[in-house]
Amino acid sequence: MPRTAINFDTVRKIGLALPGVEESTAYGSPALKVHGKLLASVPVNRSAEPGSLAVRVGFDDRAELLAAAPDVYYVTDHYLNYSAVLVRLSRVTPDVLRDLLGMAHKFVTAHEARRPPSRNRRKPA
C-alpha cells in the first residue's frame, strides 16, 4: 500500500491538535505558532531543500535527531545558530511527525516559561 504524501496540510492537522497552536505565517510562508512563538514552518531560506519543514527543537535534541536519522533530518549553514532542525517531509511518517511536533511544542512552551518578563510591561503602581 503506497504511503500518503506528507505536506504542510498534514503538519497543520497534527500541529493544530496541540494546546495553544495556531496557524500563522513566518516570512510569508505557512507556519504554526504556539502563543505567538514559531513552532514549525515551511523554510524560506534557499539552503533548505524543497519539501522540507523547519521545526523548533533544542540543540541537544537536534544533534540526536541528526545522528539517528540523517536521511530524514538535516541542517544547513543558515540554520546552524537557530534552535531548529530541517525535516524532509517525504521521509517522515505521520507518527514520527506527531512526536516531532510534540517535542517542538514542549521546547517552545518551556523556552517561553524561562524568559524574563518583557521590559515594556508596566510595573504595578
Could you read off the pLDDT of 4-26 as tens digits, one per residue? 689 999 999 999 999 999 999 99
User: Maximum distance among all alpha carbons in the chain?
Assistant: 66
What pTM, to 2 d.p., does this model score? Answer: 0.87
Domain ranges of the chain: 8-112
Output the pLDDT for position 119.
45
- Our measurement of the distance from residue 41's CA atom to the centroid of its chain's CA atoms, rounded to an integer in Å, reads 6
Res 121 pLDDT > 50: no
Q: Compute the distance between CA of residue 48 and CA of residue 78 in angstroms, rounded to an integer.
A: 9
Q: What is the mean pLDDT of the chain?
A: 90
Tens digits of per-residue pLDDT, 73-98? Answer: 999 999 999 999 999 999 999 999 99
Buried b (16+ CB within 10 A) or exposed e, 43-54: beeeebeeebbb
**What nine digits make up the cell of 40?**
514549525
Res 125 pLDDT > 90: no
Q: Considering the domain 8-112 in this protein, what is its CATH number?
A: 3.90.1150.30
Res 120 pLDDT > 90: no
